[in-house]
Structures are given as C-alpha cells and as structure tokens.
Amino acid sequence: MKTSIKIGKLYGVPVRLHFTLIFVVALIAWSVGSNVFLIAEMLGIPDPNIAPGFESYILGVVVAVGLFVSVFIHEMAHSIVSIKSGFKVDEISLWLFGGVSKMEEMPTDPNLEIKISAVGPLSSIGLGVLAFVGGMLINQSIVVFILFYLSFINFFLAGFNLIPAFPMDGGRILRAILAKKYTYVKATKTAATIGKVFAVIFGIVGLFVNIFLILIAFFIYMAASQESESVLVKHMLSKVSVGDVMAKEVKTIGPETSLEDFLKMVTTHQHTGFPVVKGDKIIGIMTLKDAKKVSEQDIYITRVGDIMETDIVCLSPDDDASKAWDSMMKRGFGRFPVLKNGELVGIVTRSDIMQSFKIQTEMESLKQNDI
C-alpha cells in the first residue's frame, strides 16, 4: 500500500506528501486554533481579533500549511544546491517530522557537504526575516499574526536543524568538519554517536515536555545508526570488485521454462532466482518473489517469460562491490547479473555482498590489532 502521493515536480525533483502529514496538519491546526490568544500573548504577536472556535481553527490550518510550505522551501534549497553540485535528488517527501530530501548519494567532500547542509537553515532564516518584515509592514491583524508566527517558526526551524545531532543539518556540518581531520568513516561514526546522545536527551526532555519530541528522538537515533552503518558498509565494499565476490557458475533459464520447472530448479540448486536468457541475450530475472504472483492452480500453465522481472540492472566485474550494494538497497533486488563485453560471466547476490563485508571487516580488525 502506498503511503505517499506525488503532487508534482519542481526543478526536476518529484515532491511527495506522506499520509502522516494529514495528522500533523490537523494537530498543528488544533493546537494553534485552541491557543491562538495565548500564543499571541506569549510571542508578543498582535491579537488576531477573531472569534474562538471555527475561525480560530481555520487560522490554525493556514498556519499549519504555511509551516509545511516553509519546510518544503527548506528542503528545496538543499535539493537545488545538491543538483547544481552534480548530485541527483530522487525526491522530496513531506511527512510526520517535516521534510526529507532523498539524495542518490551524499557528498564525501567536507566543504560541499557543509554547503549543501547549511543552505537549508539559511533559507529558513531568510523566510523568517521576510515574514517578520512583512508583519511589520502590514496592518491587518490576522495577517500579522500569521506572518509573525511563521517568522518565529522558521527561526526555530533553522536553530533546531543546526543542533549537531546527526543526521540533521547541524550533524552533517559537524561530520564534514570532523572529516577534514579524520577519515570519512570515523567522522561519520563520531557524528552519529553525538547524534544518538542528543536523541537520548530529546527523549528524556520529551517525557516531561512533549511526546512529539520522543518521536523525533527515536527518528534521529535510528537514522544516525543506519547512516553510520551504511557508510561503513560502502567503505568496506569499495575495497573489492564485483568480480571478486560474484558466483562465476551461473544457472540460467529460458522464457519458455514453465513455472513448475523453475520451482524444481529452486529446490535442486538452492537458489531463489535465475537469469532468464534468450539466445545470447539476458532478458530478465526470475525469482521466487515473481512466482508468488501466480495462484496455485496456474502454476502448471504459467511460463517464466510471463511473470519475470524485465527491468533489470547488469553490473560489470570491474565495478566496486559497493555499487552492487547500492543497487540492491535502492531497487530492492537480491541479485544482479554480471556482464563483460555483453556476455554473462557471473551473478552477484545479497549474501555474496554481506559475506564480503564480513570478511573485509574481520581483516580490518586484524590490521588494527597488528596481527
């Protein structure tokens, strides 16, 4: 089931709205609508001069939408600078915790990472200044309330994102600064550890202040752990090639192979998938996952060519094993054919990659222990 919808593209980047955004907008609208006069008093914002109830909740919806427009601009700033720096941005997603710019890969150059990370908070500061100036120049009380409130929110958004809690913007800036002195892997590990410490602090504070802070703490902790592990895996796998880890003996099947025969091959060879070849050309991959698309009564009449995966990625034996790992993570496939001069010379699977990572990690450990 899809959890987000695409609402369009901007600067070539798809923009998606996650279903959790509905709950957050509703929560913010309710919070602002129920406390509009208290908020005005606390922040020194002019009384919006509206009736409590329906009108105040409509004001809350406007503020909530304005907040997520601000978050979108924040993420778009990251994306534009990333694209201009030569990095592909897969999408921008607005969801429960604000926004995320999903990049194909993060820059390892410290100065470039600082530039991409800092532009988000800087854009928020710019929006905050514009909203504040606009509020000073307008006399309509409701509009002044909205602009001053959004000004405060954008300044808060900038400040919060600059906290050195990896993988937030401030944490990425910290990682980049550390990477100027240490290796990229060590800098990431250190920044991730600091991020986890902040996550624990956020969680403790959230117990007494706001449960939403606990959710943010959980997200930061998990994201820091995952990115630190991902950087380590890619670093270790960059030391070996696909040709070093692939299986050179490849069992293939044809598109006319029956699904029944395919299942027998799975049992006989203890592999969950095989390349599909027609003549000298590979035309697809057939896996158990594809077989599950077929009902039991159709097993005996279905051919591999009817249900195989045709949108395949082929690797070269000279590619880094890290490229195979990236492709597996992005596409959700567990195996890729390996071609050399158009000829099938091997197949690399997720288990091959993980075994290689395990060996490289153990070898690194031996070196560190001077054995």
Catalytic sites, residue numbers: 75
Q: Which residues pair with 348 in a beta bridge?
A: 336
Instruction: Find out whether 276 and 255 touch, Cβ atoms under 8 Å.
Output: yes
CA neighbor of 347 nearest in space, from 282, 289, 292, 303 = 282
Strand order in the sheet with 13-18: 4-10, 13-18, 89-95, 98-103
Number of residues that make up the chain? 371
CA neighbor of 261 nearest in space, from 293, 300, 296, 305 = 300
Hey, is 223 helix, strand or coil?
Answer: helix
Alpha-carbon gap, residue 260 to 276, rounded angstroms? 15
Show Cβ contacts of residue 113 under 8 Å, excluding neighbours closer than 6 positions.
106, 107, 172, 173, 175, 176, 179
Alpha-carbon gap, residue 275 to 360, rounded angstroms? 28
Query: Nearest-5° angle of CA 151, CA 159, CA 205?
Result: 110
Query: Nearest-5° angle of CA 119, CA 122, CA 125?
Result: 155
Q: Sign of dihedral through CA atoms 180, 183, 184, 188?
A: negative
Instruction: Find out whether 188 and 231 touch, Cβ atoms under 8 Å.
Output: yes
